[in-house]
Structure 1
Amino acid sequence: MPQQALLVMDVQQVVTDRFAVDDYLPRLAGAVDAARAGGIPVIYVVVGFRPGYPEISPRNKTFAAVAGRAASLAGDGPTTRVHPGVAPAPGETVVTKRRVSAFAGSDLDVVLRAGGIDHLVLTGIATSGVVLSTLRQAADLDFELTVLSDACLDSDPEVHRVLTEKVFPKQAEVTTVDAWAAAL
């Protein structure tokens, strides 16, 4: 039987502040609670950088603007912490990534392989960012994949719909938090 892990990706205060998360966070918390109750590891992925942003190239269109923002993603401050509504429990793993994919610039693959995990359940903000990039890379790494469509969020509802209904099903099972939790 495949060993699952629930990935909670980019659900940091600095990210959630840019989205309407009133309905989203309770759904995501439900997925986290179901995973914990089912003995499934919950792994948190946050984006963060060293002070001075040495990891960010000026050629990287996505992250070059981050280095100049007032809300810093450098160091271990409040902006790099997971939103308190879904915060890690003591002992749960938090992985810091340096790019869009949860694998890029992180030790996520090492953590997963060491834990014997071969099935990833993906959640996070944004569907068109970390979820898409992580799904593509995880598929290439031969992980079995599930996407909890209502535990993913995007600033563009149509992009979210197209990804979860047309793109993701080619590489993953797409379901809801309730359906996934009921099957545990």
Structure 2
Amino acid sequence: MANTALLVMDVQQVIVDRIAGGTDYLVRLRRAIDAAHAAQLPVIYVVVGFRAGHPEISARNKSFSAISSGLGMAQDDPNVAIHPDVAPLAGDIVVTKKRVSAFTGSDLDVVLRSGDIDSLVLTGLATSGVVLSTLRQAADLDFRLTVLEDGCGDSDPEVHRVLTEKVFPRQADVVSIDEWITKVV
């Protein structure tokens, strides 16, 4: 596991409130983060954020054009901060992306290659968004992949189930946080 990093993706206040509010998601995720730290694995946070005025968002981009019409997501907006229950510790890396995948519009690939990381453990919100897009791109980049099924969440539980049970296993190992912790600690 020496070349493995835990990715904590889009666990920002505004996204947690919309997707995982009222669940024990953050408690589970904190356990995974703490286990990664205990095993001395890098923890990399990926956040979505834009400049004031959102010049990175095209009106042709259906997913992100709603953001530029009033939903915010400027990098300095407190609502886009990483949720305090899972906030980074000193030494954790924070990468800012401009699209759904953690790789697109960010320096994530440079960070991973520089750290000789070849295996990724994926967590985040939403399963059908950042997790799916990042998994697909990371698989094409030849990373070994693990998805922490209960370390992801989606506003549609059925979509989450289909992705984690039927789609993701084609390209990744899908395990629970507890199963993963027993392997790393």
**TM bucket, shorter chain:** over 0.9
Give distance in 2, aligned partners of 1:111 and 1:76: 23
RMSD: 1.0
Residue 148 of structure 1 is matched in structure 2 by: 148
Report the 3-state secondary structure (helix = DSSP H, G, I; strand = E; otherwise coil) of the residue aligned with 1:151.
strand
Give distance in 2, aligned partners of 1:141 and 1:131: 15
Give distance in 2, aligned partners of 1:156 and 1:80: 22
Q: Structure 1: which 5+ residue stretches go unaligned?
A: none
Residue 104 of structure 1 is matched in structure 2 by: 104
Give distance in 2, aligned partners of 1:126 and 1:90: 26
TM-score, normalisation: structure 2: 0.96
CA offsets 1:122-163 (integer angstroms, 9 cap, x no match): 000000000000000000000000000000000111110000
1:160 aligns with 2:160: yes
Equivalent positions of 1:10-159 (< 5 A) are 10-21=10-21, 22-70=23-71, 72-159=72-159
Q: Give, in angstroms, the shift of residue 2 of structure 1.
A: 5.6
One-letter amino acid of the structure 1 residue matched with residue 63 of structure 2? T
Q: Give, in angstroms, the shift of residue 23 of structure 1.
A: 1.0
TM-score, normalisation: structure 1: 0.97
Give distance in 2, aligned partners of 1:94 and 1:79: 16
Give distance in 1, aligned partners of 2:106 and 2:36: 23
Give distance in 2, aligned partners of 1:172 and 1:2: 18
Give distance in 1, aligned partners of 2:182 and 2:75: 39
Deviates further, 61-70 or 41-50: 61-70
CA offsets 1:31-72 (integer angstroms, 9 cap, x no match): 0000000011000000000111110000000000001224x2
Q: Structure 2: which 5+ residue stretches go unaligned?
A: none
CA contact (8 A) 2:20 2:154 kept: no
CA contact (8 A) 1:2 1:118 kept: no
Identity of aligned residues (%): 68
* Structure 1 residues 172 and 2: CA distance shift in structure 2, 3 A: farther
Give distance in 1, aligned partners of 2:79 and 2:8: 16
CA contact (8 A) 2:19 2:126 kept: no
Runs (4+) of structure 1 exceeding 3 A deviation are none
1:169 aligns with 2:169: yes
One-letter amino acid of the structure 1 residue matched with residue 50 of structure 2? F
